[in-house]
Amino acid sequence: MKNLIEVELFKFYKRKIFISITLLSSFSLIYALGIYFKWSFILISGKLDLIAFATTMWALIMMLGIPLVLFSFLGATILGGEITDGQILLEITRVYSRKKLIIGKSLSVSLVVLLCYLLNIILSSLFYMLFVANSSHGTGVKLHFMDYSIHLMLESITGVFFLILMVALSMFFSASWGSFRAVLFTIIVFVILKFVSNIQVISIWLPGYYTLVDNTNYSHLTILYQIILMCGLSVLVLYVLNKQIANKNF
């Protein structure tokens, strides 16, 4: 399994995926420079501490939908693209287990999602210390571990699990409909969830509540429920995908 994940990560490296992730994670530099140089089109009200700035930048790129499209495409091409190209036959022959192949591919994309999140937090924190901390909107470089800061971190982490669920869905769709339509279907699922999340009564029960809803109600139980729900749904989707791949004739 370790060798399989390393092979998939090397494929991402050759496709320059890690460069894309680094550029995406550097998005917060625009806001940091905007605050430092007081650009008129960068509107920030009040003060931000390091954790608030880093998690806000993550929430912003999630709201723009860039990680959703990027990782849905990655999940779709890692399976559907290789089925279309016929490369999946060579991989099945080498690995001997279709189940292991699916798990390895899903874990490799999940690791890239996690890397993107960590890199975003690290770079945002660095840009904050360099450009924002001592500005009129900063609070210095000292960390403030208040309850609110912990809430922000936990809410941002649920976004990682939501992306992993979307990756699992894109892989599932790509097995039957190809890469392009898989990305399209995954985006449609996101749009439907976003639309349904406007219904306040059921929004909290939807996967990705903290990603889909702007004004959320925080609680430790809700965070725990969201993580368990999205992990469970991801495993379920991969289980169905594994059954689907097992019955395919390549």
CA distances to 117, 131, 193, 195, 215 from 226, rounded to whole Å, are 18, 34, 14, 18, 16
| Other CB atoms within 10 A of residue 98 CB | 19
Instruction: Please name which of 40, 37, 43, 39 lies closest in space to residue 60, comparing C-alpha atoms.
Output: 43
- Please check whether residue 109 is in contact with residue 205, taking contact to mean a CB–CB distance below 8 angstroms: no
- Please check whether residue 7 is in contact with residue 103, taking contact to mean a CB–CB distance below 8 angstroms: no
- Mean of pLDDT values over 117-139: 90
Helix, strand, or coil here: 48?
Answer: strand
Q: Which two tokens stand for residue 220?
A: 């430790």
pLDDT digits (tens, 9 = 90+) for 64-94: 999 999 999 999 999 888 888 777 767 667 6
Whole-angstrom distance, CA of residue 45 vs CA of residue 51: 16
Whole-angstrom distance, CA of residue 192 vs CA of residue 38: 38
Helix axes 66-76, 98-127, angle to 10 degrees: 160
**How many domains would you assign to the chain?**
1
pLDDT at 147: 74
Confidence tier at 95 by pLDDT (50, 70, 90): low
Q: What is the DSSP string of 62-95?
A: HHHTHHHHHHHHHHHIIIIIHHHHTHHHHHHHHH
Q: Which domain holds residue 47?
A: 2-246
Q: The whole model's pTM is what?
A: 0.92
Which residues lie across from 24 on neighbouring strands? none
Q: Which two tokens stand for residue 11?
A: 């494929």
